[in-house]
Amino acid sequence: MREPGNYPTEPLKCWGKAKELRPKFYEAYIKAHERGGIRYAGSTGGPHGFMCGFGKDVYNLCGEPYGATIAWHKDFAAQCEEACEKKGIARDLCGYLRNYWGSVILDKFILPDGTIIDEFPKPDLSITFHLCCSHAKWYQYACELEGDVPLFAIDISGRGNIWKGYEEHSINYLTQQLSEAIEWGEKVTGRKFNDELFIEGFNNEIESGSRWAEVCTYNQAIPAPLDEKTMYSLYVFNAMCPQWKESADFYRELRDEVADRVSRGIAAVAKERYRIMTDSQPPWAFLNIFRFMEREYGVVSLGSITYESGFACWDMTEDGKLVPLKTPKELGLEIKNREDALRIYAEYRIGGWRLFNIWCSSQMKSELLKKGVEQWKADAVIFHLNKGCEGVAIGQMENRLDLIEAGIPVTTFEGNMADSRDFDYARTLSRIETFLQSQGLGKLSP
């Protein structure tokens, strides 16, 4: 703990562009048919750069960001969750999945500003990377609800050691599936796959992820130039539309602005004196818990190395530090044909998103968290015991013990990223406040 800072702070200059880009994404999907285009649905982190090969007018809806949008509007979220429960769908399934299914069942679609459209915009097809246990089944049932929508699920089996990289057979396996997806997509869409559009899309996708990784590394500075609540509004384009040129351009501009903030000592929290990291999606309907910590105690949350930072493209140094992954252009990789393009794309999709391997190993997640605390100069970790996501919840209590054994202060709170009925706001604030006071932090003077 340090004495409260007195750092200069200022709004992000590119904040307005972020606010413009998000509704543009939803508008493009909703109005795709009016423009003669194609709509597809699938998971966050799906093969979005790959799908560019079917045309510049192919627009996607990502289930997790849409589920989070629903969660923010908790009254509509409750309607979606209750619609699922009436169909006998279990409450312990993925919270985003239940919000998405409920929206389809109700045949209503909500926009980020809370506007509700009385008809769910049905996709023409669904294609998804199967990153977690729910993805393929998520879209299988959604396609049935929507009326026999064609589905193609691509197995991301490239689970490996975060530090050691990936075996050749994993790259080969994903490359083969992508090749099969081209044949399937051509039959479903009636369009020929365009290699140049694919390469353009995946270059934007990797550029977006690599530039976001650079943004995240700047939060190692003291004072931190960004806070986690703000980062939630910035990382999301890597989840929704990283294949767009507008996204890659935005992340370059954001990177440059954040670098400038660090050089000038601009802080996200003017009175920063204590730094925490988190480990999960937040309870979206209650993000003001972050503002409470900032306002009352001078605590800045640096972000989650296993969530919004996980959507960056990362590489590892020999000593285990996270560094932004260089893009194919930066490495001077030559793409001679479709096979080269598919293979390079597979390598980047498996390698760049390596942090998601923590879902397969509690020990690996503990090691990553410890290294993250050291690299980002965090003082403590707060675990959200998230009933809405089985993937991030695996091994959390073991992670807690591992960090405590390493001398890192830890606290937890229970909740659900998508279902506000599983969250006790007053109790959570009390737990966080008690923990901060146990670390020697008193409330800041007015």
- DSSP-assigned letters across all residues of 324-369: EPPPHHHHT----SHHHHHHHHHHHHHHHTGGGGGGG-HHHHHHHH
pLDDT for 431 equals 97
Task: Please state, as a whole number, how many other Cβ atoms lie within 10 Å of the Cβ of residue 7.
Answer: 17
Q: 353 or 125, which is more confident?
A: 125
pLDDT for 132 equals 82
Rounded mean pLDDT of the chain? Answer: 93
- pLDDT of 163 > 70? The answer is no
pLDDT for 306 equals 82
pLDDT for 106 equals 98
pLDDT for 122 equals 96
pLDDT band at 221 (very low <50, low <70, confident <90, very high): very high
Strands (E), 16-120: 38-42, 58-62, 109-110, 116-117
Please state which of the ranges 118-122, 144-148, 221-225, 352-356 shows the lowest mean pLDDT: 352-356
pLDDT for 181 equals 98
Would the CA dihedral through 271, 274, 280, 284 be positive or negative? negative
H-type alpha helices, 87-194: 95-106, 135-146, 168-189
- pLDDT of 209 > 60? The answer is yes
pLDDT for 310 equals 77
pLDDT for 90 equals 95
pTM beyond cutoff 0.85 = yes
pLDDT for 391 equals 84
pLDDT digits (tens, 9 = 90+) for 42-83: 998 789 999 999 999 999 999 999 999 999 999 999 999 999
- pLDDT of 171 > 90? The answer is no
- pLDDT of 173 > 70? The answer is yes
Q: Are 302 and 369 in contact (CB under 8 A)?
A: no
Q: Are 64 and 86 in contact (CB under 8 A)?
A: no
Share of the chain above pLDDT 90, in %: 80
pLDDT digits (tens, 9 = 90+) for 231-260: 999 999 999 999 999 999 999 999 999 999
pLDDT band at 160 (very low <50, low <70, confident <90, very high): low
pLDDT for 104 equals 98
What is the average pLDDT across 210-235? 97
What is the average pLDDT across 151-175? 79
Structure tokens at 400: 């807690």
pLDDT band at 165 (very low <50, low <70, confident <90, very high): low
- pLDDT of 222 > 80? The answer is yes
CA distances (Å), origin 272, targets 15, 220, 283, 411: 22, 13, 23, 20
Q: Are 399 and 368 in contact (CB under 8 A)?
A: no
Task: Please state, as a whole number, how many other Cβ atoms lie within 10 Å of the Cβ of residue 363.
Answer: 12
Residue type for position 375: Q
pLDDT for 164 equals 65
- pLDDT of 158 > 60? The answer is no
pLDDT digits (tens, 9 = 90+) for 293-330: 999 999 999 999 888 887 888 888 888 889 999 999 89
> Of 52, 29, 13, 60, whose CA–CA distance to 245 is shortest?
52
pLDDT band at 130 (very low <50, low <70, confident <90, very high): confident
- pLDDT of 162 > 70? The answer is no
Please state which of the ranges 17-26, 82-91, 162-171, 419-428 shows the lowest mean pLDDT: 162-171
pLDDT band at 194 (very low <50, low <70, confident <90, very high): very high
Q: 44 or 376, which is more confident?
A: 376
